[in-house]
């Protein structure tokens, strides 16, 4: 910066406007990525200043650029987030060996990114050797390590992290598929770290971790604020809870003993974010003493029925985040609407299909949605699996939920008859009413949304950047109409389409902001060449051809996928057998 200042001093007299010194003071305060993007486009000087001062980069798909390019532009990066596999991987739709290897990135980080303190890999393949390289090279400075829904490594790799990353404030492993050799890694962490604030191995199936090590960590790390673990008997955690006085968040555990025994468990006084695995109706009362403090409640992996939800939720007036399954039912949503006026995020997942496993009342429909819309006016995020729906309920959402940024609706396929289809008008009114909407998902069934409705989505979603559309529209006409709009749409995912390759390609060419497309289930053309109509420079097109997987009790047909994305790095060089690149030049088509 001093060097720039000196150089600049000479030009200051000749160049009117803001000096680089001033700019250099101001720019570090600009954090929003879109603002930074704009700043870097002003002129060469601003581009360079942005490159020197940018703190965080998210690369939404690791194949869109290369480690080399990243290093050349942002050498002083402090925080990096990389995403690999398509989102569909979270639903078991993507082959395990699809790609997204962290190795080239880790190697570049080890060599050149001297300021990097935070690393977040999401849906990527990580090897033990990668963790060793990272720990050896950056262990002394690394503060945040997130292996988020990753796979390919074992607890041996984590040993290096535990031993060498002594400055770690955050270790996040949630939903990663980890090969478990032993629980030694947690012991290493306990012995070597005294600054840990967030520890997360939730949903990892790690069984060999010891509760003593957890207690040890709590004793050593006086700032321990959030702990999310795998299955571990709650009664064995009594010592841990005592040793963690500033704990605010806890998820995990399990309940294997007689319900009466849990009365002895006392939780830390500041606990306000909670999720107790396998908690049932009989254990639920242990939460009552501090329910009014709760800001976040995770009931996704609890054993509660609709009535239990009502009893618990009415005691939580300060709730801001609720995650649960559709067993909450319409009645539970009505209680939520009455009791939780500060609710900001609500996620309702799909429960079991078999009637015996879930409550009869456990279905969500227009009744619950309408109550929710009128009651929880501060909602910003709403994701829900419904069994029935009407246009009116969507209109309610558009009328009342003015703060909604992220809306996702899936119409389950159990009921043959839905009260009110198609949803054209409701969707239109929701989009028009929720002016802040940035993310939108609509997953219906044939007849759920006509071509007119699909056109409405295009017309009334000016700010939406990500969309997932399932079984919408009736023909290519709808898709083409849709693609005339959506001016901000960067990432589009579609499933169960009736659209032809020709229309898909044409719509891609019309969507002005589109940089990423994923499609599964579409009308393939006879020659298969219609997709190449979207061939253009820097646009990678990949196919995962149809597959047939034989499981233990079922044969699953996986229709073909299309994945297309802008890339500065050219086509991938690490394709597995299951992924085929479309190369326009090889097919004899000029792009």
| Contacts to other proteins by CB under 8 A | 88, 90-93, 95, 175, 203, 205, 278, 300-301, 303, 325, 349-352, 357, 410, 412-413, 443, 446, 470-471, 495-496, 498, 500, 520-521, 523-528, 545-550, 555, 557, 559, 576-578, 580-583, 586-587
Question: What is the nearest approach in angstroms of other proteins to the Cβ of residue 506?
Answer: 16
Closest CB to other proteins among residues 28, 576: 576
Q: Rounded to the nearest whole angstrom, what is the least distance from the CB of residue 4 to other proteins in the complex?
A: 48
| Shortest distance (Å) from residue 492 CB to other proteins | 17
Residues 240 and 262: beta-carbon distance below 8 Å: no
Residue 423: closest CA among 399, 452, 402, 403: 452
**C-alpha separations of 147 from 70, 151, 171, 233, 466 in Å:** 20, 9, 8, 25, 23
Residue number, 141 or 357, with CB nearest to other proteins = 357
Q: CA-to-CA distance for 124 and 96, rounded, in angstroms?
A: 10
Nearer residue to other proteins within complex by CB, 122 or 495: 495
CB of 418 vs other proteins, minimal distance in Å: 14
> How far apart are the C-alpha atoms of 385 and 326, rounded to whole Å?
7
Quick one: 32 or 354, whose CB is closer to other proteins? 354
CB of 546 to other proteins, least distance (A): 4
| Nearest CB to other proteins, comparing residues 47 and 101 | 101
CB of 587 to other proteins, least distance (A): 6
Beta-bridge mates of residue 580 = 543
Residue 502 CB-density burial (10 A; 0-12 exposed, 13-18 middle, 19+ buried): middle
Rounded to a whole number of angstroms, the minimum distance from the CB of residue 112 to other proteins is 33
- Give the DSSP letter string of 469-528: EES--SSHHHHHHHTTS-TT--EEEEES---BHHHHHHHHHH-TT--EEEEES-B--SSS
Nearer CB in complex with other proteins: 152/398: 152
Nearer to other proteins, 18 or 556 (CB): 556
DSSP lists the bridge partners of residue 469 as: 442, 494
Nearest to 363 by CA among 342, 380, 384, 343: 384
Collapse the DSSP code of 575 into the 3-class scheme (helix H, G, I; strand E, B; otherwise coil) and give the result: coil
**CB nearer to other proteins: pick between 39 and 409:** 409
In the complex, what is the shortest distance from the CB of residue 106 to other proteins, in angstroms, rounded to a whole number? Answer: 25
Residue 43 vs 549, nearer CB to other proteins: 549
Structure tokens at 36: 């930074």
- φ, ψ of residue 236 in degrees (nearest 5): -80, -5
Extract the tokens encoding 588.
């004899």
Strand-pair category, 406-411 with 439-443: parallel
Closest by Cα among 356, 360, 439 to 405: 439
State the nearest-atom distance from the C-beta of 586 to other proteins, in Å: 4
């Amino acid at each position: 910066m001093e060097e720039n200042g000196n150089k600049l001093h000479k030009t200051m007299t000749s160049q009117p406007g803001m000096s680089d010194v001033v700019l250099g003071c101001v720019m570090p305060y600009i954090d929003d990525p879109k603002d930074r993007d704009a700043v870097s486009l002003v002129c060469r000087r601003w581009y360079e200043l942005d490159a020197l001062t940018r703190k965080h980069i998210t690369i939404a798909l690791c194949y869109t650029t290369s480690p080399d390019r990243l290093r050349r532009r942002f050498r002083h990066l402090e925080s990096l987030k990389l995403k690999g596999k398509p989102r569909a991987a979270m639903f078991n739709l993507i082959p395990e060996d699809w790609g997204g290897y962290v190795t080239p990135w880790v190697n570049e980080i080890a060599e050149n990114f001297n300021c990097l303190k935070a690393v977040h890999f999401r849906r990527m393949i990580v090897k033990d050797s990668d963790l060793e390289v990272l720990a050896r090279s950056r262990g002394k400075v690394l503060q945040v390590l997130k292996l988020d829904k990753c796979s390919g490594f074992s607890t041996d790799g984590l040993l290096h992290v535990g031993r060498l990353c002594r400055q770690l404030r955050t270790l996040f492993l949630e939903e990663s598929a980890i090969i478990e050799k032993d629980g030694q890694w947690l012991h290493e962490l306990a012995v070597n770290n005294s600054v840990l604030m967030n520890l997360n191995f939730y949903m990892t199936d790690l069984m060999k971790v010891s509760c003593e090590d957890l207690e040890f960590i709590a004793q050593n790390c006086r700032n321990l604020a959030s702990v999310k673990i795998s299955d571990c008997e709650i009664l064995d955690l009594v010592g841990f809870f005592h040793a963690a006085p500033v704990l605010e968040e806890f998820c995990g555990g399990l309940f294997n003993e007689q319900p009466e025994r849990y009365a002895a468990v006392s939780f830390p006084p500041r606990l306000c974010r909670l999720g107790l695995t396998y908690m049932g109706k009989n254990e639920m009362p242990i939460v009552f003493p501090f329910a009014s403090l709760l800001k976040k409640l995770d009931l996704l992996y609890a054993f509660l029925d609709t009535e239990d939800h009502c009893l618990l939720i009415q005691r939580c007036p300060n709730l801001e985040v609720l995650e649960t399954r559709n067993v909450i039912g319409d009645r539970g949503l009505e209680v939520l609407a009455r009791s939780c006026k500060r609710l900001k995020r609500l996620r309702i997942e799909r429960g079991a299909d078999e009637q015996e496993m879930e409550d009869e009342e456990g279905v969500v429909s227009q009744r619950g949605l309408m109550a929710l819309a009128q009651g929880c006016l501060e909602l910003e995020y709403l994701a829900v699996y419904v069994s029935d729906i009407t246009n009116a309920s969507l209109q309610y959402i558009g009328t009342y939920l003015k703060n909604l940024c992220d809306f996702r609706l899936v119409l389950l396929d159990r009921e043959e008859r839905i009260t009110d289809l198609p949803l054209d008008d409701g969707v239109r009114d929701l989009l028009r009413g929720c002016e802040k909407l940035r993310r939108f998902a609509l997953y219906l069934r044939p007849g759920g949304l006509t071509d007119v409705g699909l056109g409405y989505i295009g017309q009334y979603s000016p700010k939406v950047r990500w969309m997932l559309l399932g079984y919408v529209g009736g023909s290519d006409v709808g898709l083409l109409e849709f693609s005339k709009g959506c001016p901000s749409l960067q990432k589009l995912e579609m499933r169960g389409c009736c659209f032809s390759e020709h229309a898909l390609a044409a719509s891609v060419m019309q969507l002005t902001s589109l940089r990423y497309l994923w499609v599964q289930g579409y009308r393939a053309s006879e020659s298969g060449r219609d997709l190449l109509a979207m061939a253009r420079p820097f646009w990678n097109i990949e196919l995962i051809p149809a597959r047939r997987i034989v499981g233990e009790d079922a044969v699953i047909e996986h229709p073909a996928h299309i994945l297309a994305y802008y890339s500065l790095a050219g086509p991938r060089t690490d394709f597995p057998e299951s992924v085929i690149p479309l190369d326009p030049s090889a097919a004899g088509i000029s792009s």
